[in-house]
Amino acid sequence: MKIINEKVDVLVAGGGTAGHVAAIQAGRARVKTAVIEAGTMLGGTMTSGGVYMPNHYYSPQGPVVLGIAWELYKTSMEIEGLPIPDYRKRRPVENPGYYSYINVPLYSAVAEAAAVKAGVNIHYHEFIGEVKPDGNVWEITSFGRGIKRITRAKEIIDCTGDCDVLRALGLGVLRAKERQPGAYQYKIEGIDYEQIWDEEVQIMYKEAMDKGTIKKGDYAYLDSLPFKYYLNHGGHNGTHVYDADTSTADGQTRVNIEGRERMLRMYKFVRTSIPGCERSVLKYMASHGLARETYRTKGEYIITKQDFLNAVNFEDKICNAFNYIDMHNEKTGCDVYFHESREMVPVVPFRALIPKGSSRITVAGRIVSADRVSLAGIRAQCTCMAMGQAMGAAAALAIKKGVPSREIDAKDIVALTVEHGACPIK
């Protein structure tokens, strides 16, 4: 096995939804940055995970998350020759947010090019095995095929989605006995919707459930949304994997296998049983299944449901967190909670991204320090990207000032992200 030694200022663990933006921001702030990513591309859930609809850049009142996240989205749209949506023309009747759709190959390539241009060292197919402090420097050991990499970094940003670094260090984490179901993403195309009768397919769905042809969770929303919803979306984001735990290799393997079993069962049912679906094609499947929550950070502050619903204006806010609460579950499929006013925009406090009792390490993404209910709103993809940009800025400022990231003023973090296009926070 080849042993490689590397020295950087900032090590981003995980190049997913939060991590790729964190790495780009740190690199653009001219500090030496590396990202270790277990997968094959940047973007995580929104690219290799198949949830290719980042939400929400805009609220009905205007932009909520812009910055590097919006820049990458716009660039990928421009390459594809598509117009940039004018969200001011939308009518938010059903939903106070606006989903945007990305072309996965284009977005992942655009994100990678931006990271390389920012000077980020990208290490794909590597898993972090050990993290330990050595004075004011971290020593991170990662493994890939034929490689053992020892990275020395002054700051770490844990963007793994499962608190991999925090758990390796023995720092406090939160984990609920009951967790939101995970998901497996795929796409069925070629459905002839002219032949689809809403009430008929609902009866067919219930009959198939009663007979055991399909199983609970194969259609995530059970009876809360009609089965036509599944067909309208070609199955995309429509399948649950219960008790999904991607925090270990065995857990990820189990989610992958079960997710594909559910996908195949549903495709067989749709194609052979529903008029208008005879020529349908299983066009796409994600490379891996997803968890909506596993471990969360036990931070210097834990965001509560009431904090989120009341849109508490934290003094140390570092980004907006616009979204409704989207709590997936096994009983109804999904429960949704909206704010009292669509003008209310929650924010994320810096303290919730600092592991309790730690120094020179922050987190970003769905492992933010929050209770389960508030997490169901904060975990929205654009919010995760905004957290990533803020922590990339915090780490860069810490390097330049020669202090731990936890000592950086939140207002300075916001100022740097705004320099790089992020939304000012009211």
pLDDT tens-place string over residues 1-57? 899 999 999 999 999 999 999 999 999 999 999 999 999 999 999 999 999 999 889
Structural fold of domain 2-89+97-176+295-324+347-419: FAD/NAD(P)-binding domain (3.50.50)
pLDDT tens-place string over residues 345-388? 999 999 999 999 999 999 999 999 999 999 999 999 999 999 99
Confidence of residue 223 (pLDDT cuts 50, 70, 90): confident
Write down the pTM of the prediction: 0.96
Mean pLDDT of 194-217: 97
Q: How far apart are CA 321 and CA 366, in angstroms?
A: 12
Mean pLDDT of 390-419: 98
Axis-axis angle for helices 198-211, 249-273 (nearest 10):
120
12 CB-contact burial (10 Å; exposed 0-12 / middle 13-18 / buried 19+): buried
Q: How far apart are CA 294 and CA 274, in angstroms?
A: 36
Domain range summary for the chain, segments of one domain joined by +? 2-89+97-176+295-324+347-419, 182-285
**H helix or E strand, kind and range, residue 399:** helix 381-401
pLDDT tens-place string over residues 97-147? 888 999 999 999 999 999 999 999 999 999 999 999 999 999 999 999 999
Residue 338 has pLDDT above 90, yes or no: no
Q: How far apart are CA 244 and CA 215, in angstroms?
A: 16
Separation in Å, CA 382 to CA 25, 70, 137, 224 = 15, 9, 31, 26
Task: Evaluate the omega torsion of the peptide bond into residue 56 and state whether it is cis, within 30 degrees of 0.
Answer: yes
Q: How far apart are CA 285 and CA 175, in angstroms?
A: 29
